[in-house]
Amino acid sequence: MIKTAFQTSVLLLTTLATTVFASESSVLTKAQRAELQQLTTTASTSDLSYQIVESLTTEVGARMIGTEGDKRAIKWAVDKMNALGFDKVWTEEVAHFQWIRGDVEAKITAPFPQPIKAIALGESVGTGEQGIEADVVHFATLADLEAADATRVDGKIVFVSYRMERLKTGRGYGKAVGARVRGASVAAEKGAVGFIMRSVGTANNRLAHTGITRYQNDERRIPAVALSNPDADLLINQLKRNKPVRFFLKVTAMRNEVVTVKGANVIGEITGSQWPEQIVALGAHLDSWDVGTGAIDDGLGVGMVMATAAHIGQLDKRPKRTIRVILFAGEEVGLLGAKQYLIDHQATLKDHVIAAEWDFGLGKIYSMQANVAEPAIPAIDELASYLAPLGVAYNTANQGRGQSDMGLITDQGVPAMNFTPDGLRYFDIHHTENDTLDKVVPEDLQQNTAVYTIFAYFAAQADVEFRKAN
């Protein structure tokens, strides 16, 4: 294997870090530091995490809860964990109602008829076979819609055109996603017959972004779709002509709330040699939206955490604590797997010594932040010194939260580790048909996996109480 510049620099610098960091008070022993050094070399040169994503996207593909793809994904995950040498592998059932995406036909019918690329928001109702046609009323933001008089909205199709900002931190998402989650409900309360919005996404592709929408009032549900960015631009350009713009929308999506579908959290462990009941929890979500092949959301998270455990499982001896990989079910439709996990594991939550998830895409990790008890901070300092050679800066605020699913777990008092990647490209792809294997950057994924491997090994070996006193 030809070493990349990334690999070479990491190996040199990690050698330095694991050699130099050797005070009397260090958490890892000299032998453990040597083992960590070896493990870092392995994770920084292996393509195992990429191979896992390749396998998942090629052999399974899209896997929304309740679909055949999800069933195949669960079997795939169990088989893969077993093949990778996990000590224990099992599934825990998660239930949901059935939602079928169907198709969307959208078009401007006046003043200038043109087809529009749109996608149903997750769990939207349909329009019925005949579709709906109405004048468009345009709001720049959800706040503008909220402030509008119902007389402007009644009988109309509401269009919210707010465009998500493209930022390294990904923070544009938080400002944009409210319209997706609540927009249809707000519009419906004011009498709208349909809700269309600019996709929560940052690329100019004719691929609209899906994602969950929520109905606040079950009596007033209206169909909700996202337009691609270029289609939202086109609609705005027609609106600028100051003539009424008519819109036709046919959505064949179906919420079958009397039908229960089953998914599963898939869980695998590398069992601890000294304190097997103590759990270092690594999460990702197994489900994806039913578009794309779920490569970046969250196939590469699946690849990272499975490869992390597998690398550690290849050591001569199991670390002291158990490393538990949790592949959550139904994250996309409302963190269903995490909610079920909290129910199923309430009694042993106190034994989860620290937790981290990966559900934020395809860039290199550039920052870390823990959330641990004060006396454990020197241990995190030491961990930070091992990660610094991989380009990971240390945010000492000690207010980290688990990502997505694991956020619910760490909100219950489980200590957290949060790693922040370069999120610039993530929302170009997220929740679209473009979420495919070619978007994964192997070198970035290698860095991500190396970071998780160092973290997991450290947490599993460190004789440190990370949990805050109650």
When the beta carbons of 177 and 441 are compared against its own copies, the nearer one is 441
Which among 84-92, 133-141, 229-237, 414-422 is the span making contact with its own copies, rule CB under 8 A? 229-237
208 or 335, CB closer to its own copies? 208
Nearer to its own copies, 72 or 262 (CB): 72
In the complex with its own copies, the residue whose CB is nearer, 261 or 437, is: 437
**Residue 225 makes contact with its own copies by CB under 8 A:** no
Cα–Cα–Cα angle for 286, 291, 295, rounded to 5 degrees: 45
The count of residues interacting with its own copies (CB under 8 A) is 33
Residue 119 binds to its own copies (criterion: CB under 8 A): no
Q: What's the min distance (Å) between Cβ of 239 and its own copies?
A: 10
Which residues, 363 to 392, sit near its own copies by CB under 8 A?
Answer: none
For the chain, the straight-line distance linking the first and the last C-alpha, in angstroms and rounded, comes to 49
Pick the piece of the chain touching its own copies (CB under 8 A) from 118-126, 209-217, 273-281, 429-437: 429-437
User: Residue 3 or 241: which CB sits closer to its own copies?
Assistant: 241
CB of 130 to its own copies, least distance (A): 20
3-class SS string, 71-120:
HHHHHHHHHHHHHCCCCEEEEEEEEEEEEECCCEEEEEEECCCEEECEEE
Residue 117 beta carbon to its own copies: minimum distance, rounded to whole angstroms: 7
Report the distance separating Cα 111 and Cα 245, nearest Å.
6
Site pattern 434..453 for its own copies (x: CB under 8 A): x-xxxx--------------
Segment near its own copies (CB under 8 A); pick from 26-34, 274-282, 300-308, 426-434: 426-434
Nearest 5°: CA angle at 76, between 70 and 79? 145
Which of residues 51, 82, 114, 346 is near its own copies by CB under 8 A?
Answer: 114
Among 3, 30, 75, 206, binds its own copies (CB under 8 A): 206
Helix, strand, coil percentages, rounded to 5, for the chain? 40, 25, 35
Q: How far apart are CA 386 and CA 302, in angstroms?
A: 23
Residues of this chain, 349-368, that bind its own copies according to CB under 8 A: none
Question: Of 184 and 208, which has the nearer Cβ to its own copies?
Answer: 208
Asked if residue 242 binds its own copies (CB under 8 A), the reply is no
Query: Which one of 42, 127, 293, 447 is in contact with its own copies (CB under 8 A)?
Result: 293
CA dist 463 and 434 (Å) reads 44
From the list 341, 356, 447, the residue with the least C-alpha distance to 404 is 356
Instruction: Report d(CA 40, CA 18) in Å as an integer.
Output: 10
> Quick one: 88 or 241, whose CB is closer to its own copies?
241
Least separation in angstroms between residue 69's CB and its own copies is 8
Smallest separation, CB 434 to its own copies (Å): 5
Q: How far is the CB of 432 from its own copies (least distance, A)?
A: 8
Torsion angle, alpha carbons of 168, 174, 179, 185, to 10: 160
CB closer to its own copies, 283 vs 292: 292
The footprint of its own copies on residues 5-64 (CB under 8 A) is 54, 57-62
C-alpha separations of 87 from 273, 325, 353, 442, 447 in Å: 12, 11, 19, 28, 26
Quote the CA–CA distance of 318 and 356 in Å, as a whole number: 20
Give the residue with the Cβ less far from its own copies, 230 or 378. Answer: 230
282 closest CA partner among 305, 262, 256, 254: 305
When asked if residue 238 is in the footprint of its own copies (CB under 8 A), the reply is: yes
Which of 400, 402, 223 lies closest to 328, judged by CA?
Answer: 402
Query: Interface with its own copies includes 207 (CB under 8 A)?
Result: yes
Rounded CA-CA distance 313/290 in Å is 33
* Window of 111-119, 189-197, 307-315, 351-359 that interacts with its own copies by CB under 8 A: 111-119
DSSP result, 402-427: --HHHHHHHTTT--EEEEEE--TTHH
Cα–Cα distances in Å, from 313 out to 268, 274, 460?
A: 12, 15, 12
| DSSP-derived pairing of the beta strands 275-285 and 352-357 | parallel
Where on the chain is the footprint of its own copies (CB under 8 A)? 54, 57-62, 68, 112-115, 117, 204-207, 229-230, 233-234, 237-238, 241, 292-293, 432-434, 436-439
